[in-house]
Structure 1
């Protein structure tokens, strides 16, 4: 396990941000079509 939980949380936040961005893009595409 990581000795730096803060870094792990940060990476999780980044992953979540990316997934949210993808969802937003998909929503934009579905709305535009």
Structure 2
């Protein structure tokens, strides 16, 4: 999704990455 030469990644990509990180953190906390 992120292509070299693009200074700012697409907002959608940022949201997906953020959700992924939050999901991992939540999963680790539950365990």
Q: Which runs of 5+ in 1 are unaligned?
A: 26-33
Higher helix share: 1
TM-score (norm 1): 0.66
How many residues are paired up? 25
TM-score (norm 2): 0.69
Structure with bigger gyration radius: 1
Q: Which has the higher contact order (CA 8 A, sep 6+)?
A: 2
